[in-house]
Amino acid sequence: MATKTSQSKRVLVEKANQMIVVVTAVAAFVTVFSLVAGKTLINQESYQNRIITAKNTALKQLKTDVTNVDKLDNSYETFVSNPTNLLGSDSTVAGADNGDIVLDALPSQYDFPALISSVEKVINDNGLTINAISGTDLESSEGSNSSSISPKPIAMPFSFTVNGPYLNILSLVSTLESSIRPFQIQTEQISGNQTDLSLTISAQTYYQPGVKFSISSEIIK
C-alpha cells in the first residue's frame, strides 16, 4: 500500500513539474512576444510620426510657394507694364519692355553664333571695318546647360580687330561699355593714327542658364 501511495505521489509530482514547465514556457513565449510586439508598435508609431511631420512640412512649404507665386506674378506684371523701361525709353515698343531687356542682358541659352552676329552689328553700326572676329564655339559642351537648379553666369570669350577713324573707335568702346548685355573688355591694343586706327579687343560676355524646377521625393525611414 505504501509503495502504491509513493508511486502515485511521484506521478503527481512529475505531472506538476511538467505543468510548471509548460506554464513557464507559455509565459516566456507570451513575454517575448509582448516585448517584440511592443517594440514593433513603438517603431511603427515613430515611423508614422515621421511621415506625418514630413507631410506637414511639405504642405507648409507648398502653401508658402503658392503665395510666393502670386506675389512674383504681380511683381513681374508691375515690372513689365511700366510705360518707361529701365533705359528710359518707351516700353510699349515691341521688344522694349523690361522683361525683354533683362532677357537680352543675360540670355538663358548658349548661342555663340548669335553673339558674334550681334558684335558684328555693333561694329558695323559704328562705321568700322572688321579685320577679324573670333572665339571658341563651345556649343558641344555648353549647349546642354539650358537649365540649372542654382544657375550662375557663364563666360563667353571672344576677340575682334577693327579699323576706322578715332571717333568711330571711341564710339564703339562707349557702345560696348553702355550695352544692356554686359561686355567685359579684358585687353585693348590700339595702333595707327587719328584717321586710321586699328583696335584689337579681347572681351567676354555672359549667359546664365534658366532655373530648373524639379519636384523631388523623399524616402522616410
Distances (CA, A) of 103 to 70, 100, 117, 153: 21, 5, 17, 13
The answer for 141, left when phi > 0, alpha when psi is -120 to 50, beta otherwise, is alpha
Ranked by mean pLDDT, which of 29-38, 53-62, 83-92 comes out on top? 53-62
Closest CA to 129 of 49, 78, 208, 199: 199
Least confident among 27-31, 55-59, 117-121, 197-201: 27-31
Q: Calculate mean pLDDT across residues 38-59.
A: 82
pLDDT range class, residue 6, cuts 50, 70, 90: low
Classify residue 138 as exposed, middle or buried by CB count within 10 Å of its CB (0-12, 13-18, 19+): middle
Q: Calculate mean pLDDT across residues 95-103.
A: 77
Q: Calculate mean pLDDT across residues 38-45.
A: 79
Distances (CA, A) of 160 to 117, 123, 185: 12, 10, 11
Q: What is the DSSP string of 160-213?
A: EEEEE-HHHHHHHHHHHHT-SS--EEEEEEEEE-SSSEEEEEEEEEEE-PEEPP
Per-residue pLDDT tens for 134-146? 888 777 666 556 6
Amino acid occupying residue 85: N
pTM over 0.85: no
pLDDT, position 16: 66
- What percentage of the chain reaches a pLDDT higher than 90? 21
pLDDT range class, residue 9, cuts 50, 70, 90: low
Amino acid occupying residue 153: P
pLDDT beyond 60 at 3 = no
Distances (CA, A) of 84 to 92, 98, 168, 170, 197: 8, 9, 30, 29, 38
Q: Give the phi and the psi of residue 172 in degrees, each rounded to 5.
A: -65, -45
pLDDT, position 5: 61
Per-residue pLDDT tens for 10-24? 666 667 667 777 778
